Amino acid sequence: MLRLILLSLLNRRTTALLSILGIAVSVTLLLGVEKLRVSARDSFASTISGTDLIVGARAGDIQLLLYAVFRIGDATNNIGWDSYREIAARPEIDWIVPLSLGDSHRGFRVVGTDAGFFTHYKYRQDKGLEFAAGQPFSDMFDAVIGAEVAAALGYGLDSRITLTHGTGALTGADHDNLPFRIAGILKPTGTPVDRAIHVGLPAIEAIHLDWRSGSRIEGLNITEEKVRAMNPASLQPRAITAALVGLRSPIQTFQFQRYVNGYRKEPLSAILPGVALSRLWALIGIGERALGAVAILVVMTALLGLVTTIYATLNERRREMAILRANGASPYHIVLLLVTESAILTFSGAVLGTMILYGLILMLRSAFEAGFGLQLTLTLPSAREWLFFVLVLGAGLLAGLIPALRAYRHSLADGMTIRS
């Protein structure tokens, strides 16, 4: 029976191949969307790793995560420098990196931090920041830019930039008296680091020497020379926006979180980045579901195409059915024949589609990682992917039933009469 079906398919190989190809492409899309979805979720979830707690002014965990990590929105309040120093001096602390936000450069956020950022910021399971060119800032007016900033604005090493006060493109709010030199360019990470400009905390303080309460004090006329001549202590920040904290032992995480949340001198919050990330993903995950729905629609379209193809050939195959019928095949054999046929086509299509997907991943994974920061892994299909595979096969079988039932009615009506 199987041999009969295979030979019959071989006889109609062009249409059979086209059906297989249609299913293959749709399965590639379905599994591809699934892979991208998982990859996007994973790389989102690993936007920041190795950081045990993020400390900021009292706020909801998603809000704190949004401005401290994603640089979206603004902090409602700051952490006083004294509080920061006190927290940093706690024995549980392994390392602490300050973040000072609020300035921008041509739409990209400026992050005031210290050199510890480049060693302690980790993403995607302990992957550290790497330099495509240059090095961390060594001079006060050095800046380190993310890969996307460099690409979008065409900056190279030693390019000169001026920062803008605030995050909008206000004219006249430029800190143009104190230009920065680009000392380092980071490799792409697929995290918000790509879109940030990093400078030292004293530099942030310096460019705000002539600013008070959001407006420039006229006539102060701060220059680079004056800043360099100043006592470093006077460039100590009065406040920062947030801090990334690594603890000596993860066991102390909750204890330390309670300590920060209960800090008496000012209202502070400490959040666990992993928990906040997954809560944030649950909020924005609706897009992922829409993407999945589109992929399922594509598969349904392909299966509809399969039904159409088999259905369309039924008339010209009526003779084939009648010959089989006259030679002992029952109408059930005819149904089995057509359902098996669509099962073979669907299975071949699904296998081919999976192979195409893996081929594409193999070819495009490095481009994807560089371009979108999405890591596509060449792993065995996940349980969910297997489920999709089985569902597609099941749908193919069901689709095969439609023409099969028509052929069943044909063969009952035709009997041994050959109509062609």
Binding site for other proteins (CB under 8 A): 1, 3-4, 7-8, 10-11, 319-320, 323-333, 414-418, 420
Q: Which is nearer to other proteins, 208 or 325 (by Cβ)? A: 325
Shortest reach from residue 8's CB to other proteins, in Å: 6
CA-to-CA separations, 341 to 4, 149, 200, 306, in angstroms, rounded: 10, 54, 68, 11
CA distance 9 to 143: 65
Shortest reach from residue 411's CB to other proteins, in Å: 9
Strands (DSSP E) found in 66-165: 79-80, 93-105, 108-113, 122-123, 127-128, 131-134, 142-145, 160-161, 164-165
Residue written as tokens 């979805």? 37
Q: Which is nearer to other proteins, 11 or 125 (by Cβ)? A: 11
Q: Which is nearer to other proteins, 93 or 404 (by Cβ)? A: 404
Shortest reach from residue 34's CB to other proteins, in Å: 38
Q: Which is nearer to other proteins, 160 or 419 (by Cβ)? A: 419
Shortest reach from residue 13's CB to other proteins, in Å: 10
CA distance 169 to 176: 14
Closest among 7, 18, 4 to 310, alpha carbons compared: 18
Closest among 343, 217, 205, 258 to 55, alpha carbons compared: 258
Shortest reach from residue 331's CB to other proteins, in Å: 7
Q: Which is nearer to other proteins, 11 or 76 (by Cβ)? A: 11
Q: Which is nearer to other proteins, 153 or 324 (by Cβ)? A: 324
The pair of three-digit structure tokens given for residue 353, joined into one six-digit string? 């589609």
Residue 334: its H or E element: helix 331-372
* Helix intervals (H) in 169-285: 201-207, 224-229, 253-261, 273-284
Shortest reach from residue 189's CB to other proteins, in Å: 57
Shortest reach from residue 340's CB to other proteins, in Å: 14
Q: Which is nearer to other proteins, 10 or 284 (by Cβ)? A: 10
Q: Which is nearer to other proteins, 107 or 415 (by Cβ)? A: 415
Residues in the chain: 420
What are the φ and ψ backbone dihedral angles of 267, each rounded to 5 degrees?
Answer: -75, 115
Question: Which residues are CB-contacts of 154 (< 8 A; sequence separation ≥ 6)?
Answer: none
Q: Which is nearer to other proteins, 329 or 352 (by Cβ)? A: 329
DSSP code for 157: T
DSSP code for 330: -
Residue 243: its H or E element: strand 242-247
The pair of three-digit structure tokens given for residue 326, joined into one six-digit string? 């006259």
Shortest reach from residue 351's CB to other proteins, in Å: 24
CA distance 30 to 22: 12
The pair of three-digit structure tokens given for residue 29, joined into one six-digit string? 């899309």
Shortest reach from residue 327's CB to other proteins, in Å: 5
